[in-house]
A and B are shown apart, each in its own frame.
Chain A
Amino acid sequence: MGCCLALAYVVALVRRGWFAAVGGAPAPTASFAPPARRPAPGGTLVASGPAPAVAWAPPRSSTRARPTGRVGAGKVGAGTVGAGLVGAGLAWFVIGVVGMHALGWFAWAEASLLTDTAFHSSGLWLAAIGASVVAVRA
């Protein structure tokens, strides 16, 4: 059970990291969009509801040329998120090791080698995902 919770926690963190890095927010079900409106010819365009604030929004059209290199700099926010995941993952790993084996915390996870391994590796996986985010966006 503890192993599953740890995994679910990691998944939740990854989802949070993903949406923070890439933008948007998860909504589990479909719903209606705000009612749209368009004016009659000669009328004034009425926007259909406010656009949510986003970290990045593309222009309506673009004719920019394909880049010659792949050197685009990632956003500071994304790098921060990735670095944050790396830091949090490593910290969680260290806390797990010290807490479990020196301070007697997390006894539930120490009960078997499987849960022990899963518990400790969750931090390393989180760090690896953070590193991937940093690498991909670099």
Chain B
Amino acid sequence: MTTMTTDQTVRLLLPTHTRALPPVTARRQRRAILTYGALWALGALPGLLDLGAAWTAAGLGLALPGGGLLWGGHPVLAVAAVLVLVLSVFTWWATGPTVLPPLVWLGTAGLGAALADPGSSAAQTAALVAGPALVVAAAVVHRFRHARQVRAGARLNERLAEVDFVITGPPGLDVRVPVAEHTEADLAHLRYGLDLALQPLDSFEGFTRIDQFREAATRYQLNALGYGLAMSQFTRTPAFSGYLAEAQRNAIEKMLDRRIWGYWALENAWGNLDLDRDPVDNGENIMLTGFHGLMVGMYESLNDDRYSRPGALTYRWDGTTDYANDYGTLASSIHRNVQASPFALFPCEPNWIYTVCNTFGMNTMRSHDRLHGTDYFTAVEDRLRTSYENEFLRPDGRIIGVRSSHLGLSWNLWAGPSIQITTSYWMHAALPDIARRTWWLLREHDLRRDSGTVTTRPTVSARLDPGNYQLGTDTYSQVVTLMAAREHGDEDLAAEVQRGLDEQQEIAEADGARRYANASGLANLYSLLGRYGRHSALRDLVVFGAPEAWRAGPRLAEAAYPDVLVAKAVTDGRALDLVLRPGASARRTVVRVDRLVPGHTYDVHGALLPTCTAGADGTADLEIDLDGRLEVRVAPRG
């Protein structure tokens, strides 16, 4: 391993939260409570003014969901009204229809009015008191929990004061960890991703298809596919473009299919009452711009800048309507939205801000800044850091996974280990100190090693495969643990998790491709990112990019697939070293090398001929016999 001279060590304590609510969140919650107070006052008036049974029931229904039904002698319907409202809030959270909970609330109030029989004054009082009592109870519970979390944070800070976190710097030309060679198992799992990506652009065979709104959406599988393929290129075959780069391009361009991004038209309509379908030029939807932008940033860091040309990323609705974008417009829209958001972080679905989604936005800005000289991320870094440390962090160091931008509310369901692990991984590029502290906390509290297996604290989100909404499996949790452990340099733990996945999961295999049989497409594709990761791989790729020698030196430009599987491809800027394996039967085939010096003669080892001369375009074809592991070296003569 290369000795790093530019790494830094830092200490990072948990912020000392003196107030129960951070400032922006407090403002949003005050506004929500005042709005409810006005509604409650309006609802109380009809009863106080004796406007009749129907108006009284309607008013009580406004003061408390189901309140009018309760007063009118329909307790079962009142409970049903509350349940339907809860369901509508869940639907709002899941798919963004902001209008649904108010409509349901109003509807149940109307139903109460329609069925109203004069009720007792006790029921009226109960309906009027219950709502404010719930608000007060929630505030009291929050205060107690906050105080407990503050005490836990203080105890943790005593230990954190003595913990040094290593923030890795530029890896240099020699790269932090030398380029590795794919094992046969690595190549088999890679073929699963390659086959998915190399099918025609309008074809989506093999992807999990359930919905296009939540975690099982095809776009997230495409994102993971692009990231996994890019990571395999970065850590194993940086000097190979060929079908591997084509597969990444396909994943990027499949994102432009309306079936993939068209969900936004509906979410914007029912979430913002806005019929504009533009998936980029809006104040939300970071789940598209951030995720898609990072795919492009990774591709451009390793290959070419075709997606930075105007219109290169055109989201087409139909023959007459399209939305022309490129890498730059994605990054600038994220930057603009961060600036405009009071939380700095901005929503995915209308209203709902996710901390992990915003890490993708940071990574898109960070990689764009490096590649194009912009300062999108640096201009907003302080605001983002402050928000992550205050608005979206509990005093005990647990990252708050989701918060309503309208109401300021969050819930613990989305603060389990999987969310923490995932965020610690994706945050490592842009805010490495917070990411390192989060990983340290996970190692302290959530990750358990027991007789050769690694498990997380049993919570709902840790036992969910979000790629197919299956409960009861921790495969996805294992996969994200693998990703994060590798990224944070916890290689012993990562190797243990990888071994557990490979030995304990049922494996499906077809035509040389391999996947975990009982996991979703999302889990399988993120497993590629974990499998090909290494210490600070994501951070190196996003923040520092590929060494110049990789971008200018000779590379393997074309090879037959699956006949030629590329296990390793690396250049020092002058020579090219390859390790190739057959993907089918033994055969004689041709591979093409480019970025050679035109007209120069090269010594070749491992091919049929001992020398080759580069053509005027800097390419040369090599004929090889491939019947097992084959090392090929192309080096300048002399």
A interface residues (Cβ-Cβ under 8 A, vs B): 22-43, 47-49, 51-52, 54, 56-58, 60-67, 70-75, 113-114, 117, 132, 135-138
Contacts and interface: CB of A to CB of B under 8 A. Distances in A.
B277 to A, nearest CB: 7
A33 B195 contact: yes
Contacts of B77: 113-114
Contact of B199 (A31, A49, A114): A49
Given A49-B199, A60-B253, A66-B324, A38 B560 contact: yes
Contacts of B321: 67, 70-72
Contact of A33 (B74, B196, B309, B512): B196
Contacts of B115: 113
A40, A63, A114: which has the most chain B beta carbons within 10 Å? A40
Contact of B195 (A26, A35, A72): A35
B210 A26 contact: yes
B40 to A, nearest CB: 26
B521 interface: yes
A72 B317 contact: yes
Contacts of B468: 28-30
A17 B194 CA distance: 32
Interface residues of B, number: 82
B599 to A, nearest CB: 20
B304 interface: no
A66 B563 CA distance: 42
22 contacts: A23-B258, A26-B209, A27-B207, A30-B206, A30-B207, A30-B208, A30-B524, A32-B513, A33-B196, A34-B199, A35-B511, A38-B559, A40-B591, A61-B314, A62-B256, A62-B324, A64-B314, A64-B322, A67-B320, A70-B275, A72-B319, A73-B320
Given A23-B259, A58-B257, A60-B201, A31 B561 contact: no
A36 B203 contact: no
Contacts of B207: 27, 30
B206 A40 contact: no
A43 B563 CA distance: 13
Given A36-B561, A72-B320, A72-B321, A49 B265 contact: no
Contacts of B544: none
B23 interface: no
A26 B145 CA distance: 43
Q: Which secondary structure dominates chain A's binding surface?
A: loop
Nearest to A121: B107
A32 B275 contact: no
Contacts of B186: none
Interface string B19-43: 0000000000000000000000000
A71 B195 CA distance: 38
A8 to B, nearest CB: 14
A41 B558 contact: yes
B195, B256, B621: which has the most chain A beta carbons within 10 Å? B195
A137 B201 CA distance: 23
Nearest to B326: A63
B592 interface: yes
A42 B198 contact: no
Contacts of A66: 281, 322-325
Contact of B562 (A35, A71, A135): A35
A32 B115 CA distance: 55
Given A40-B591, A41-B558, A114 B80 contact: yes
Contacts of B589: 40
A135 B559 CA distance: 49
Interface string B220-254: 00000000000000000000001100100000010
Contacts of A41: 558-559, 590-592, 621
Given A23-B259, A41-B592, A135-B275, A49 B205 contact: yes
Contacts of A132: 266, 269-270
B60 interface: no
Given A65-B311, A113-B115, 17 more contacts: A23-B259, A25-B209, A32-B195, A36-B243, A40-B589, A40-B591, A41-B590, A42-B590, A49-B200, A56-B258, A56-B318, A58-B256, A61-B312, A62-B311, A63-B310, A67-B320, A136-B266
Interface in B538-561: 558-561
Nearest to A26: B209
B203 to A, nearest CB: 4
A77 to B, nearest CB: 11
B430 to A, nearest CB: 29
Contacts of A47: 200
B312 A63 contact: yes
B122 interface: no
A49 B616 CA distance: 36
B49 interface: no
